[in-house]
Amino acid sequence: MGWEFFSLETLQELARQYGYGAVFFGIALENAGIPIPGETITLLGGFLAGSGDLSYGGVLIAAIAGAVLGDSCGYWVGRWGGWPLLTRAAQLFNIPQEKLDQARHKFSQNGAAAVFFGRFVTLLRIFAGPMAGIVRMPYGKFLLYNIGGASVWAAITVSLAYFLGRVVTIEQIIAWTTQFSWFALAAVVGMVGIYFVFHFLQKRFDQTIESTIGDRPQ
């Protein structure tokens, strides 16, 4: 989601010229509630890291920091300004009211999950911070889920462009990210689930081994 004058060529030039700063401010502004193509700029940063123009770690840190800062700004804007301010901002950027209502409905169902996983959905990525402030989610809780979601999102987004950029064009990567954002979200949920299942089974296995050793006659 972004303004029409943000062509891919313009974004590429910004990313090349300003590097980590472009990644940081691009995603920070988008997450603060300003509909500019921050995710695309982050992908471009990962792509440039893959070609050696930027470092992978630098792009990753810039993306995480920008996402957390932008969401935090959006949170306090929502908390202080409330729903009327968010509605006026949406009108300013020609965002339909029904889109805003949809985001509010999804957020009201499960705010914590919306903060963490909403980063993978353009609409929720823009409005998650302000919505959390509007419903007065405790800032500590918001920050915890925000940092977690930002870290997972940045790792996937930057890595995708970093590795795939060596074999396909950046245009293809951006198209795939747009088309398959929900699949990426499902993959994240699956990986997290697998991790916890593996951790649980490993813990049970270790307890069984310790119990077996403890029951052996001395």
3-state SS string for the chain: CCCCCCCHHHHHHHHHHHCHHHHHHHHHHHHCCCCCCHHHHHHHHHHHHHCCCCCHHHHHHHHHHHHHHHHHHHHHHHHHHHHHHHHHHHHHCCCCHHHHHHHHHHHHHCHHHHHHHHHHCHHHHHHHHHHHHHCCCCHHHHHHHHHHHHHHHHHHHHHHHHHHCCCCCHHHHHHHHHHCHHHHHHHHHHHHHHHHHHHHHHHHHHHHHHHHHHHCCC
Determine what percent of the chain is predicted with pLDDT higher than 70.
76
Cα-based distances in Å from 51 to 45, 61, 120: 10, 18, 25
Residue with tokens 């980063």: 119
Is the pLDDT score of 106 beyond 70?
Answer: no
Q: Fill in the amino acid letter for 173.
A: I
**Which band of pLDDT confidence, cut at 50, 70 and 90, is reported for residue 55?**
very high
Measure the CA–CA gap between 204 and 179, rounded to whole angstroms: 40
Is the pLDDT score of 1 beyond 50?
Answer: no
pLDDT score for 119: 80
16-25, 152-161, 193-202: the lowest-pLDDT one: 193-202
42-51, 68-77, 83-92: the lowest-pLDDT one: 83-92
Residue with tokens 């914590």: 112
Residue with tokens 């609409």: 123
pLDDT score for 41: 92
Sequence ranges of the domains in the chain: 8-178, 180-218
Query: Angle at the Cα of 162 (from 190 to 22), degrees rounded to 5?
Result: 105
pLDDT tens digits, residue range 167-214? 888 888 888 777 665 455 455 555 556 656 776 777 777 677 666 665
pLDDT score for 23: 96
Is the pLDDT score of 215 beyond 70?
Answer: no
Instruction: Tell me the whole-structure pTM to 2 decimals.
Output: 0.71
15-19, 41-45, 51-55, 126-130: the lowest-pLDDT one: 126-130
Q: How many residues does the chain have?
A: 218
* Beta-carbon count within 10 A of 106 CB: 19
Question: Average pLDDT of the chain?
Answer: 80
